[in-house]
Amino acid sequence: MRQPLLTSTTSYQSLRNHANQAREWQMRELFAQDPQRFERLSVEAAGLFLDYSKNRLDGRTLELLAQLARERGVERLRDAMFAGEKINLTENRAVLHTALRAPRNKPFTLDGQDVTGDVHAVLDRIKTFSDSVRSGAWKGHTGKEITDVVNIGIGGSDLGPKMVCLALRQFAHPRLTMHFVSNVDGHDMDAALSRVNPETTLFIIASKTFTTAETMMNANTARAWFLQHAPEEALAKHFVAVSTNVEAIKTFGIDPANMFPFWDWVGGRYSVWSAIGLPVALSVGFGYFSDLLAGAHAMDEHFRTSPIEQNLPMILGLVGFWNREFLDCGSVSIAPYHQDLNRFPAYLQQLDMESNGKRVTRAGDTISDYETGPVIWGDVGTNGQHAYFQLLHQGTDVTPIDFIAALRPAHEFHNHHAALLANCFAQSEAFMKGKTEIEVRQDLADQPADEIERLVPHKTFPGNRPSNTILMEYLTPATLGALIALYEHKVFVQGALWDVNSYDQWGVELGKVLAKKIEAELNGEAQPAQHDSSTNGLIARAKAAV
């Protein structure tokens, strides 16, 4: 159904008027005026605490944003998603990743059929298989225990399990080393294969479609490498697949008994909860994998049932929308102050940018008078501080930052943790406060007058730069599950406000088709086609180098 244009709604127009004033606000003053600002502008759920007080907004802004969410039917669309309605309109599919983390006794319905039973049947198989590999009962073809797992997949079939395995390394099985090969660049495969022994390696071919070119090429290479060291009948002990495409798996030569299925109502970037999470279950064990799912489910329940004003994903989504739409922030930087979350920014890039990087509405109308998804990027703190934070503090663009930290470490070096948290909190304080000219002059008081004049503009920071801080007690499977689900739902909220379909990704198709053509040309299997002169020239250079 065609929605009224976002910018024509009453609440959007009220927000636009309100933003004309808010642009002038100084956060320093907002804090000074309201000693309760932190208490008022923070919210807690599912083991996560969100402080959003360091944003250029007030209670009225939130009221208007909540009004907009209601006027745009965000709650209605949320309920439709949980009810299994086909809200992925361009692919005519339901969006039910939340069903993947629901407990066994909680029915989720799709086309009148309960899917929870199917989900738990696969989870049971994941448990049996991961228990047997971890215990050593599952042996390679020469009778040795598995020591290495190589996951071959890309995009959602790589980023989720890789990010989670790294984040939960404290819980990992000591015998099992996890490897992730995603890139079609042979260096990626070479690096993995040079570290593993075919007798003790398990390959997981992970692809929702089982047609993705990079994954298929990597899977074929891995199989050919394996068969140089082992007979064909050994494949069954060393190759398993995760996919929705059973026919393609059979054609590839994997026994369906070694296939862990999932379903077309799970988007690739939302699939870590499905059998795509098999590397996680292998690494940390099924118990902790279940805790990851339970943490996400707790966030789902909070998202599904809490009023907008106390709803963590709604608030994170609305605040991000405010910064993007009304304060002209074109990107968001993700700064986990936790080394084990070092792949989290990359994971969120796919989650957010593949979901909301859209330029037409759900009805297909071109969006021309408002902005949609921002660029997502970042790295762990404190590393980012010594690389790009300079631009964030004093550059001409304003980039909101999400700081993420655990209050307690999982190591013994407590002085390190105090230093880490001090940096995290100091950065958000510095982004908010900046440094005024008066403060700079005070610092420079003992310098000669002309030196002070010369340095003041360089040492002054505007401040007033927005950030959120998300805290958890420890980084555990459950808090990680809640954190990922929080961002999934944030993306949902923003997609609903912008009226885009967050669940397709047609934009990546054109490059795939053209790459196929050019690959044939590079291999001499096709005559060079008439490309533009740049592409022709690049192809000619590559052919000359062969």
Distance CA 315, CA 532 (A): 47
Distance CA 407, CA 473 (A): 5
Specify whether the CB–CB gap between 308 and 66 falls below 8 A.
Answer: yes
Instruction: Output the CA–CA distances (angstroms, integers) from residue 77 to 86, 355, 496, in the order listed.
Output: 11, 16, 7
Least distance (Å) from ligand F6P to the CB of residue 337? 28
Residue with Cβ nearer ligand F6P (81 or 184): 184
Q: How many helices (H) and strands (E) would you count in the chain?
A: 23, 13
Residue with Cβ nearer ligand F6P (47 or 155): 155
Catalytic member of 24, 233, 386, 509:
386
Q: Which residues contact 307 (CB under 8 A, 6 or more apart)?
A: none
Distance CA 4, CA 367 (A): 12
Specify whether the CB–CB gap between 138 and 146 falls below 8 A.
Answer: yes
SS3 of residue 78 by DSSP:
helix
Span 411-450, contacts to ligand F6P by CB under 6 A: none
Residue with Cβ nearer ligand F6P (3 or 349): 349
Residue with Cβ nearer ligand F6P (95 or 329): 95
Pick one of 11, 53, 207, 356: the residue that binds ligand F6P (CB under 6 A). 207
Instruction: Output the CA–CA distances (angstroms, integers) from residue 44 to 302, 453, 470, in the order listed.
Output: 10, 46, 9
Kind plus residue range of the DSSP H or E element containing 486: helix 477-498
Instruction: Please give the structure tokens belonging to residue 198.
Output: 């075919």
Q: Which stretch binds ligand F6P (CB under 6 A): 2-10, 149-157, 169-177, 431-439?
A: 149-157
Type of residue found at 427: Q
Kind plus residue range of the DSSP H or E element containing 332: strand 331-337
386 is catalytic: yes
Least distance (Å) from ligand F6P to the CB of residue 347? 11
Contacts 24+ apart (CB under 8 A), 75-83: 75/308, 77/492, 77/496, 78/303, 78/304, 78/492, 78/496, 79/304, 81/492, 82/108, 82/300, 82/304, 83/109
Residue with Cβ nearer ligand F6P (98 or 215): 215
Least distance (Å) from ligand F6P to the CB of residue 515? 11
Instruction: Output the CA–CA distances (angstroms, integers) from residue 10 to 366, 368, 372, in the order listed.
Output: 21, 18, 19
Residue with Cβ nearer ligand F6P (354 or 521): 354
Residue with Cβ nearer ligand F6P (27 or 275): 275
Type of residue found at 183: N
Residues 332-361, mask of contacts with ligand F6P (x by CB under 6 A): ----------------------x-------
Span 506-545, contacts to ligand F6P by CB under 6 A: 508
Q: Does 373 bind ligand F6P (CB under 6 A)?
A: no
Pick one of 156, 198, 285, 374: the residue that binds ligand F6P (CB under 6 A). 156
Q: Does 157 bind ligand F6P (CB under 6 A)?
A: yes
Q: Which stretch binds ligand F6P (CB under 6 A): 63-71, 148-156, 248-256, 279-287?
A: 148-156
Q: Which stretch binds ligand F6P (CB under 6 A): 27-35, 202-210, 431-439, 454-462?
A: 202-210
C-alpha torsion sign, points 150, 152, 153, 154? positive
Q: How many residues bind ligand F6P (CB under 6 A)?
A: 14
Pairing type for strands 331-337 and 375-378 reads: parallel
Residues 251-270, mask of contacts with ligand F6P (x by CB under 6 A): -----------------xx-
Residue with Cβ nearer ligand F6P (332 or 351): 351
Residue with Cβ nearer ligand F6P (155 or 378): 155
Residue with Cβ nearer ligand F6P (151 or 467): 151
Catalytic member of 354, 417, 489, 521:
354
Least distance (Å) from ligand F6P to the CB of residue 416? 35
Q: Which stretch binds ligand F6P (CB under 6 A): 206-214, 222-230, 304-312, 326-334?
A: 206-214
Q: Does 215 bind ligand F6P (CB under 6 A)?
A: yes
Pick one of 140, 155, 378, 466: the residue that binds ligand F6P (CB under 6 A). 155
Q: Does 154 bind ligand F6P (CB under 6 A)?
A: yes
Least distance (Å) from ligand F6P to the CB of residue 53? 35
What DSSP designation does 210 have? S
Q: Which stretch binds ligand F6P (CB under 6 A): 73-81, 201-209, 254-262, 474-482?
A: 201-209
Pick one of 72, 101, 179, 208: the residue that binds ligand F6P (CB under 6 A). 208
Least distance (Å) from ligand F6P to the CB of residue 182? 9
What DSSP designation does 144 have? P
412 is catalytic: no
Q: Does 495 bind ligand F6P (CB under 6 A)?
A: no
β-pair partners for 260: 242
Specify whether the CB–CB gap between 421 and 460 falls below 8 A.
Answer: no
Give me the phi and psi of 451, to 5 degrees please.
Answer: -65, -40
Least distance (Å) from ligand F6P to the CB of residue 119? 18
Distance CA 450, CA 3 (A): 60
Q: Which stretch binds ligand F6P (CB under 6 A): 100-108, 150-158, 389-397, 398-406?
A: 150-158
Closest to 529 measured CA to CA, from 537, 541, 517, 538: 517
Catalytic member of 106, 512, 517, 543:
512
Distance CA 371, CA 324 (A): 7
| Residues found near ligand F6P in the complex (CB under 6 A) | 154-157, 207-209, 212, 215, 268-269, 354, 505, 508
The residues annotated with a catalytic role in the active site are 354, 386, 512
